[in-house]
Structure 1
């Protein structure tokens, strides 16, 4: 089995790559190649054995085609985890770069699946990392029928990506699954453009005994998952039977909904009473409008398909740093 991960040096991509390298299998099938692509590789698994590095720019279609051909020869790609993106704040600041990464690169990877099928091969499973940013302004409850009204360029690009995955899947060129990821915790301190990075900061900094400022009020509510839970769901997406999903390959993942005050309580329960004094609040209306008004979340399609959230907020806080 040949598996490709884009954005393999990112927080989620690196965790997924490490899990796959350690298991050396997916869905009970052994991995022949684990191909990692990114501009550089940082903490990603080192090359060797089943693991290959392809360092380059996904927005360069000629490089991408040549690199994959050199890595695979005439062998097919069995699974593509497409995680590479230009996220939230970075996409707002540089929409041209965001279009190239979030839209152009996605189309070229999907086209690779088309080429594989038209050459007589099987369609690759295409796991696309979408985002809850597709929803934008939120109603009183979010469920499987909630309309997509993105408020940010990043969310708009993810909507387009979902539509492309649906269309290529309809034509039989890929076997698509688009997962709408919530906030993923706890990201490392490097700034990569996520406007919601403060949610990770709260967990990580308090665990280290350092003070942190939350840009939302104690009553603000959000959704999130631990990195462990998200990797579990990505791996499940690659092997789940999508029969009965209907016309759309997109699915909203279950997540833990909590308020900032509940998060502080969970941190106190884990680290002791002193943790409460480490968190202060300085609400920023723009940030709270984007991340602090999340209503109840209902995801029956995802639950029926075997996807899961963290068991509780306490479990999320524990898993987020593991």
Structure 2
């Protein structure tokens, strides 16, 4: 198989690249070429070049000449993880439009060209987001919950989902989009996410550092460890095409837990003193978007093999097992 990961320098892309290098048969067939695509090649991933089938190709996905280089041979599977985080996309709307909407749709059209030539119908796994929903009420969210995004990041992700579903309807790509919750614990440097507090809780508890949370202890969010996220990305690529929803998208099962419950699990691992310097100054906008998430019901996704972290303690264990 010839596989491309965009955003391979990022937190999730890093983890997926390592997983596929260590398990080159994870998608059912051996990997012949794993192309790692991002703006730059990070030093901590150079070890992946020890794998003969892994190759870095760095460039800008909005540059057509870079796409020529990236797609010089037929692609079996694309994991599109590259994006501009939501908070940055709000601050820089033109860049958000270019990176989060134009780039994935242009890439998908180029893959569709490959399919129309009768070479391969490429499988596309698109990392979407729960930001497609916008603020939610107290009722449980089902898999049929309407998507009404309240930020550009969510709007662009939803538009990309629709574009990929249409190309799939036409038989030009075989796309599957998964709506990711907060993946923890992202590096402290990745501060462009509105949900950055979800990861910072972990980092600050481990170091025992002061932290002012922009949401209250009662705030509820949907959480997922990197380990579980990677399992779900791989599962999305492996699900058989027959029986896929017309939308080609899934809301993933995710751990629904309050910030207070996560803090208690962190204290269980590191001791009560680890969070003694935490304080809370809720930001109404951040809490509305990321801290008032209701229970989640995802029977179709679970039947398709998608999974969640069992509880807050399991989430904490998974995070620190892999960091």
Are 2:90 and 2:151, in contact at CA under 8 Å, matched by a contact in 1? yes
Task: Say what the alpha-carbon RMSD is for the aligned residues.
Answer: 1.3
Moved more, 235-244 or 220-229: 235-244
Alignment partner, residue 137 of structure 1: 135
State the shift of 1:212 in Å. Answer: 1.8
State the shift of 1:282 in Å. Answer: 1.5
Unpaired segments of 5 or more residues in structure 2? none
Q: Distance in 2 between matches of 1:61 and 1:25?
A: 31
Alignment pair present for 1:220 and 2:219: yes
Q: Distance in 2 between matches of 1:13 and 1:181?
A: 13
Structure-to-structure mapping, 1:110-259, within 5 angstroms: 110-139=108-137, 140-259=139-258
Alignment pair present for 1:14 and 2:17: no
Alignment partner, residue 63 of structure 2: 60
TM-score (norm: length of structure 2): 0.95
Are 1:90 and 1:192, in contact at CA under 8 Å, matched by a contact in 2? no
Unpaired segments of 5 or more residues in structure 1? none
Are 1:264 and 1:279, in contact at CA under 8 Å, matched by a contact in 2? no
Q: Distance in 1 between matches of 2:264 and 2:70?
A: 49
Are 1:206 and 1:278, in contact at CA under 8 Å, matched by a contact in 2? no
Per-residue CA deviation, residues 67-89 of structure 1 (Å, 9 max, x unaligned), is 421xx3xxx21100000011210
State the shift of 1:301 in Å. Answer: 1.2
Q: Distance in 1 between matches of 2:185 and 2:41?
A: 19
Q: Distance in 2 between matches of 1:84 and 1:258?
A: 27
3-state secondary structure, aligned to 1:47: helix
TM-score (norm: length of structure 1): 0.95
3-state secondary structure, aligned to 2:190: coil
Are 2:208 and 2:275, in contact at CA under 8 Å, matched by a contact in 1? no
Q: Distance in 1 between matches of 2:103 and 2:49?
A: 23
The count of aligned residue pairs is 317
3-state secondary structure, aligned to 1:44: helix
Specify whether residues 297 and 273 from structure 1 end up closer, same or farther in structure 2 by C-alpha distance, changes over 3 A only: same
Are 2:181 and 2:223, in contact at CA under 8 Å, matched by a contact in 1? yes
State the shift of 1:279 in Å. Answer: 2.0
Alignment partner, residue 108 of structure 1: 106
Per-residue CA deviation, residues 214-251 of structure 1 (Å, 9 max, x unaligned), is 11111111111001100110011111124222311010
Q: Distance in 1 between matches of 2:202 and 2:70?
A: 39
State the shift of 1:47 in Å. Answer: 2.8
